[in-house]
Amino acid sequence: MTFRYLLSYSSAFAAFLTASAVSPVALATQPLDTFLDGARRGGFDAREQAAIVEQSGWEREAALGRLLPSLSAAGVYTRNQYESVIPAGPFSPAPLTLTPHNQLDATFQLDVPIVDLAGYARYGQARHLAKAAEAQRDLSATEIDQLVARAYYAFVGSSALVVAAERSLKSTEVNLAYVVTRHSAGAATELDRERARANVERARQDVTQAELLRTISARNLETLSRVTPTSVTEYPIDDLRPEAPLNEWLASRDTPSDRLQAHLNRAAASAKKSAAYSFVPTLGASAQEHISNATGFSGRNNSYTMQAVLSWRGDYSTYAVAQAQASAADVQAVRAERSRRNVEDEIFDAHERVRAGIAKSASARSEAEAALRAERLAFARYQAGAITQLDVTQAQRDAFQAQAARIQADADLAYSRVVLRSVAGKSPRVPPSSLPSIPAGDLIAEPPSMLLSPPTPTR
C-alpha cells in the first residue's frame, strides 16, 4: 500500500496516527504527563466521574440516615363551627375546653429504629456502590489516559509527518530544478520535466494533508486534556528495550477493573441479604409530645405518648424479590469473571504489540535509512545518465513512504507501552529512554543536493 493510498483513507491514517509519534518517538514541548494530568483534573470525563462519585457518596449517607433516629414536628390550626366546653363544677374547678372555636395543635415525634436487618443490608449495599463509583472513576481515568495518549501521539506524529513531507517537497523541488536545467540544455525530455513537476505537486499535497492532520489532532488533544499543545521541538528516540515477561504483567490483580468488580460483588451480596432479611421482623420505638388548646377531660394542654412497635410482613412478592436478588448476585459473579478475563486479554494484547513493535520499529528504521540512501543513489545515477527520471521519482516516493512507516512503527510502539501500563493498573507514564533527544530539524535527513552545472547538450 502506498502512502498516497494511506492518505486517501483518512480514517485508516488517523488510526495509525492515533499512536503516531515519530521514528524517534515525537515529544511536544510539554511532555505526555502534562496532558495526562490536565485531562484528569479538568477533562469533561474526569469532572463527570467526580460528580458521580459525590452523588454515590450522598446516596450512601441517605441509606445511613434511614437507620438513625429521626425527629418530626407538625403544627395544625383548626376552625371549629361549634365550641364545646364543660363548665366548672364539683369535679372540675375550672372549665374544660373539649373543642374550641380556634383549635391549635403541635406535635413533636421521635422515631428510633432498633432492629432493621434489611435496612442495615441496604446500607451495606450503598457503601459498596459508593466504593464501586470510586473504582469506576479510577477505571475511567485509565481509559482517559489511553485517549489522551492516542491524541498526544496523533499530534506529535502528524508534526513529524509534516517534517517528512516538507523534506520530501524540498527534494522534489531540487529534482525539478535540475530536470528543468537539463531540459533547457536539451539533455532531458519534456516527459521527464512533466514527471518532475507532477512529483512536486504531489509532494505539496502531502504537506497540506499532514498539516491538516496536525491541526485536527492538536485540537483533539486540547479538547481531551484542556491543555493547549505547543509546537514539537524534539524527538527522543525509543531505546527498543523489551518489557518485563508477560507473566509478571498478568500477575497484577489490583487493576481498577478488579477493584470495581470486587465492590460490585459485595454490593450484590448485600442486596441479596437485604431481600432475605425482609422476612425478619423489625423493631422500632417512638415518642410523641402533643400540645393543644383542646385540653379534653384531662384539662392539660400537653401530653406525651411512647410506643415500641414490632412489625412483620410476609408475602409472595417479598419471596420473589429475594430470589431475584440471589440471581442478580450470580449474574454479577459471572460479569466479574468475564471482566478479569478481559483485563488479561488486554494485557496480553498490549504486551504482544510491544514485543512486535520493537522488531517492527527496528526494521522500519533500517528501511528508512536504506530508502534515503537509495534516493541519493538515484540522484547520482540520474546525473550520470544511468537511470530515468521515473526511477528518481519512485525513489523519492519510496523515501517518503519509508519515513511515514518509520513514524507509524515507533508511534505504535510508544502507544503500546502506555496501554500496557494502563490496563495493568500501573502508571501510564513510561520511563524515559536512555538515548538522547534530537532536535526536530535533525529528524529527517536533508535531501541530496543536485549538481546544477549545465549538462552536456545532446546531439
Q: Is residue 454 part of a domain?
A: no
Structural domain contains residue 150: yes
Does the pLDDT of residue 11 top 80, yes or no? Answer: no
Quote the pTM value: 0.74
pLDDT of 185: 86
Task: Say if CB 86 and CB 120 are below 8 A apart.
Answer: no
Calculate mean pLDDT across residues 8-20: 32
The CATH number of the domain holding residue 188 is 1.20.1600.10
When pLDDT is cut at 50, 70 and 90, the band that residue 258 belongs to is very high
Tell me the backbone φ, ψ of residue 90, rounded to 5 degrees: -65, -25
Q: Is the pLDDT of residue 26 over 60?
A: no
Whether 94 is in a domain gets the answer no
Per-residue confidence band for 439, with pLDDT thresholds at 50, 70 and 90: low
What 3-state DSSP class applies to 378? helix
Residues 56-81 have a mean pLDDT of 93
Where is pLDDT greater, at 16 or 410? 410
Mean pLDDT, residues 200-207 = 93
- Please indicate, yes or no, if residue 130 is contained in any of the structural domains: yes
Whole-number Å distance between alpha carbons of 286 and 284: 7
pLDDT 10s digits, 385-427 = 888 888 888 998 998 889 888 888 888 888 899 999 999 988 8
Is residue 32 a part of any domain in this protein?
A: yes
Position 54 in a domain: yes
- Confidence tier at 91 by pLDDT (50, 70, 90): low
Number of domains in the chain: 1
CA neighbours within 13 Å on the CB side: how many for 458? 8
Per-residue model confidence (pLDDT) at position 354:
94
In a domain, 297, yes or no: no
412 within a domain of the structure (yes/no): yes
Question: H-helix or E-strand containing 90?
Answer: none
pLDDT tens for 263-276 read 999 999 999 999 99
Residue 302: enclosing H or E segment and its boundaries? strand 302-311
Q: What average pLDDT does this structure show over 275-303? A: 88
pLDDT at residue 125 is higher than 80: yes
Per-chain mean pLDDT for the chain: 83
pLDDT band with cut points at 50, 70 and 90 for residue 99 = confident
Containing structural domain, residue 387: 3-63+120-269+322-442
Amino acid present at 442: D
pLDDT range class, residue 10, cuts 50, 70, 90: very low
The answer to whether the CB of 311 falls within 8 A of the CB of 391 is no
